[in-house]
Amino acid sequence: MLVGPGEGYAVGIVPAEINPDLEDAMLTILDRATGVPWEYHYVTYLNIGYEADFYVPLVDVAAEVLNPFFDALVSYDAVKVNFFSGRYYFGTGMETGYVSAIQPEEVDTYTRQGNLWAERVPRAGVELWADKFLAGKRAAALYLDNATGEQLAVLGNVPGGPADTVYLTLDKTLQNQAQTAINKYRGAVVVLERDTGRVLAMASSPGFDPNLFNPDNFNALWTSPLSDTRNPLFNRATRGQYPLGSVFKIITMAAGLESGVFTPESTYDCQYEFTELLPDGPILYDWTFEHNERDGDEPPSGLLTLPEGLMRSCNPWFYHIGLTLFNQGLRNLIPDMARVRTGSLRRGGYPEEATGQVPADPGEKLASTNLAIGQGDLLVTPLQVAAFVAAVGNGGTLYQPQMIEQIVSPTDAILQQFSPVVNGTLPISPETLASIQDAMNEVMENRRGTASGVFGNFPVELHGKTGTAEVGGGLDPHSWFVTYSNEGNPERPDIVIVVIAENAGE
């Protein structure tokens, strides 16, 4: 269960009351009782200072998790544990959305809809999308009173009813692992079932604790996601719009092959510099140039076929494709290839989603050349990228991403059941697709592939692409990684993983 009626504890600490002789033991118990590494708790109060004689909130913990350690935890004077109950969230809230109190300016609107002023209402995510199922049926009655308020008759009434149960496609273990993995970055992780569109995990960092919107939670008195300058309520997986960088070379390769100008056997000498824009345009550079300038030991990739160009992520190869198509009157082929209908999660259980941006017309040589490596005016969301990569992996079918597995009534009637929805197919031939798939496998397994250092001996067949996207302003580039498995095991469906880490460099 990710959300439901439950009980929890608000855990905090008063740094000035910490016994230095017992601090290590206290941190060990905090680690075990909360499921959060002791380093997090330590850094939290260390940043405040040991002299602080006031309460510092640490974390909210489900009662079922903390109860076995309760007595040990409260034996430390510095640790404060406060019980609360209500709608309890076992995740970060980004995958489910959250509810919060009706604000004064909203009272009139919500009371007209039948809400009580003291209720909490859905604000985002599945909570908002599925509110008509999760709210239950409100009881109501209409009375006839006299002038003194005495009830004379009941004119009508409507009985209430319990809420429906919404089951999500998310895998709880995978969701927790994805969130933990991305927590030290600003960024997002999306995991899809490759051949159906099921969303198995959707993590965004920084995340937030939706239990902090529960007014009975003691920690809510001390901290709020609304005041967090890192904007944790912003779901980077569905609303973050980013340049795609070198992952876009998959699309450029497809456009190049479909144009008939290039074949899988076409070759290009990948050197440090791309000079084809001279004399009127700038010299552009390969990533090996920057590595060699920094480390002095990165030679250029040399003569490469087009699939090898993707394997090595050779910038000049793809600059060459972009410029060549422009010069041959095919400048819209790459952006048109990028406008595949990946499908919106608004129809699949999650209402907040950005649309991304593909330039309508690159317009001139430099823009077309830059677009070929995913730079310029192109913006995408991690969810859109995941849906596209899934189509590359499954043979070309663009599945609608969906988060709702099943909705069941209180009488166990199935109101909604997951079924794959096809939005279209990739506009490329089977031969082009096979060439791209093979090249993405070489990225992972060939010793010269850009991801082989990590995945070269991985026990699962993987196809992937690394990516670095420049953002300007003197900031480090965003780091992308996309991959899909290709095992064909019906007992363990193939998946797609997309990760973006903002300003994480290469």
Q: Tens of pLDDT along 346-405?
A: 777 788 889 999 987 777 999 999 999 999 889 999 999 999 999 999 999 999 999 999
Res 370: pLDDT: 95
Residue 206: asked if its preceding bond is cis (omega within 30°), the reply is yes
Res 138: pLDDT: 78
Q: Are 97 and 125 in contact (CB under 8 A)?
A: yes
Res 472: pLDDT: 86
Phi then psi for 399, rounded to 5 degrees? -90, 145
The closest of 423, 427, 55, 404 to 254, measured between CA atoms, is 427
Q: Residue 436 is which amino acid?
A: I
Res 152: pLDDT: 85
Q: In angstroms, what is the C-alpha Rg of the chain?
A: 27
Res 114: pLDDT: 80
Res 351: pLDDT: 80
Domains annotated for the chain, with CATH where assigned, are 245-501 (3.40.710.10)
Global pTM? 0.90
Q: Are 253 and 266 in contact (CB under 8 A)?
A: no
**Tokens encoding 195:** 């051949």
For residue 108, how many other CB atoms are within 10 A of its CB?
11
Q: Tens of pLDDT along 266-323?
A: 999 999 999 999 999 999 999 999 999 988 888 999 999 999 999 999 999 999 999 9
Residues in a beta bridge with 86: 6
Res 110: pLDDT: 87
Q: Is residue 441 classed as helix, strand or coil in its secondary structure?
A: helix
Q: How far apart are CA 462 and CA 497, in angstroms?
A: 11
Q: How far apart are CA 406 and CA 399, in angstroms?
A: 18
For residue 58, how many other CB atoms are within 10 A of its CB?
20
Q: Are 342 and 276 in contact (CB under 8 A)?
A: no
- Identify the residue whose tokens are 């969301």: 381
CA 50, distance to chain mean position in Å, is 36
Q: How far apart are CA 339 and CA 356, in angstroms?
A: 10
Q: Are 93 and 120 in contact (CB under 8 A)?
A: no
**Tokens encoding 434:** 């096979």
Low-confidence ranges of the chain (pLDDT < 50): none
Residues in Cβ contact with 325 at an 8 Å cutoff, skipping those fewer than 6 apart: 255, 256, 259, 261, 331, 333, 334, 368
Res 359: pLDDT: 85
Q: Residue 92 is which amino acid?
A: T
Res 53: pLDDT: 96
Helices in 17-89 by DSSP H: which ranges? Answer: 23-34, 38-48, 63-66, 70-74
Res 142: pLDDT: 85
The closest of 297, 296, 268, 272 to 284, measured between CA atoms, is 272
Res 156: pLDDT: 87
Helix and strand totals (H; E) in the chain = 17, 21
Label residue 69 exposed, middle or buried (CB < 10 Å: 0-12, 13-18, 19+). middle
